[in-house]
Amino acid sequence: MTVQQIKQRFGIIGNTPLLNRALEVSAQVAPTDISVLVTGESGTGKEIIPQVIHQLSSRKHGQYIAVNCGAIPEGTIDSELFGHEKGSFTGAAGSRLGYFEVANGGTIFLDEVAELPMQTQVRLLRVLETGEFMRVGASKVIKTDVRVVAATNENMSSAISSGKFREDLYYRLNTVPIQLPALRNRKEDIHLLFRKFAHDFAEKYRMPAIKLSENAVELIETYAWPGNIRQLKNLVEQLSVIETDREIDAFVLSNYIQDKVQSTDLVLRQNKIDDEFSERELMYKFLFDMKKDLSELKKLVVDIVSKGGDITLTDGQSALISRMHDDVEGNLLSSPRSLPEGNMNIEQRDGFEVHQEVEESLSLEDREKELIQKALDKHRGKRKYAASELGISERTLYRKIKEYNLGDK
């Protein structure tokens, strides 16, 4: 079965090479009994891979059981997986078959496998190696023929290093690894998924489907999506139900996703780093531009003076030189980033001196605000091009516009 046929059969949306590769590997290992470990962030749709593997295998007529290992209490998970005998523990009024016994000849999907208690990991390792297990409270060995597909969103190397997960079990489960990409690495698929979910919810709630404006599409494609496909689906449902306007623009969309960025510690730290770099780059761009202008003016003055000519500066030229001299010397030289070497001082020859007292704000915040507004004016309010001109991301530009209360003028 081809990747396209798999997508059609299982309702999988997307064309990114990383997703296609995951489906290709799933189809290749399906006819075998090799154990598979599916990894990926929470919300990437890891549960679809074991279904693909099961349905494309010779076990497709057998039982398929999905177990969320993180949702079962530690005291009962052995009983759930391997069964128990009557009286084996308080409340065990009768014997019970476990999932490994029920799924004999089929497939078991162990989701969040890293959450298994250490004792259960030992039992699972024995099943994978010998196909044997014992019910809780029993001494009789039971044989089973089960295909195991596991999934986790944890860093397994860290889990092994901390003693949370057995290294031998990891290698036994990880015979074939399949990595599902995060949604932020599937940018070409995000709008496709949005439209699919919008259509589904339109049918479910019997209303017209929502759609995105051009700037909203740009926003969802640059957003980090810490909750991945699950977050995107929930967002589309919220927009479908709450918003009366069926076309969603970037301003409306940002009200739904901006707060969610703050809810994930990992994304919060990453955004903080990104924002610091973006603001710093904006500042450096502004200062480097000032240095360039200063160098040009300095060269002009030196050329005229060296030729013995008289020079009369306009108020604007004099103010520009004075402002640049103060800003570049005071701000650029104190910056932590090393700058191109060069003499920052204005030369004085034959007693010539440029001096003009100008009262104006030297606040970088004011300069940043002014520069952003100029970029917006230059590109007639098109934020994509303004962000490119400023050398910052559109998300940072949106936040700055809101922070400084700027608008398209």
Give the model confidence (pLDDT) of 153-163 as tens digits: 999 999 999 99
- What's the pLDDT band for 15 if we cut at 50, 70, 90? very high
Only one residue has tokens 């400084």, namely: 404
Ranked by mean pLDDT, which of 17-26, 70-79, 89-98 comes out on top? 17-26
The distance from CA 31 to its chain's CA centroid, rounded to whole angstroms, is 33
Which of left, alpha, beta for 240 (phi over 0: left; psi -120 to 50: alpha)? alpha
* 56 or 369: which leads in pLDDT: 56
Is the pLDDT at 197 greater than 50? The verdict is yes
Question: For residue 354, how many other CB atoms are within 10 A of its CB?
Answer: 17
Overall pTM > 0.85: no
Q: Give the chain's mean pLDDT.
A: 82
Q: What is the mean pLDDT of residues 151-178?
A: 95
Is residue 409 predicted with pLDDT exceeding 50? no
Summarised one tens digit per residue, pLDDT across range 114-136 is 999 999 999 999 999 999 999 99
Task: Give the span between the Cα atoms of 9 and 22, in whole angstroms.
Answer: 16
Give the pLDDT mean for 375-393.
82
Shortest CA distance to 232 belongs to which of 277, 270, 200, 278?
200
- Listed residue (101, 103, 105, 109) closest to 26, CA to CA: 109
Give the contacts of 245 (CB within 8 A, at least 6 positions apart): 252
Q: Is the pLDDT of residue 138 over 60?
A: yes
pLDDT of 291 > 70? The answer is no
pLDDT at 281 (0 to 100):
58
Most confident of 133-142, 278-287, 359-368: 133-142
pLDDT of residue 373: 86
Q: What is the pLDDT of residues 315-372, one digit of tens each?
A: 555 555 555 555 555 554 444 444 444 444 444 444 444 444 445 555 677 778 888 8
pLDDT at 393: 80
| Res. 262: pLDDT tops 70 | no
- Banded pLDDT at 99 (limits 50, 70, 90): very high
Which pLDDT score is estimated for 241? 95
Span of 166-170, 209-213, 232-236, 372-376 with lowest mean pLDDT:
372-376
| Cα 79 off chain centre by | 37
Confidence bin at 268 (pLDDT 50/70/90): very low
The closest alpha carbon to 86, from 97, 77, 73, 78, belongs to: 97
**Residue 307: pLDDT above 70?**
no
pLDDT higher for 400 or 118?
118
Q: What is the pLDDT of residue 123?
A: 95
User: At which residue do the structure tokens 């010779």 appear?
Assistant: 58
Residue 261 buriedness (CB in 10 A; 0-12 / 13-18 / 19+): middle
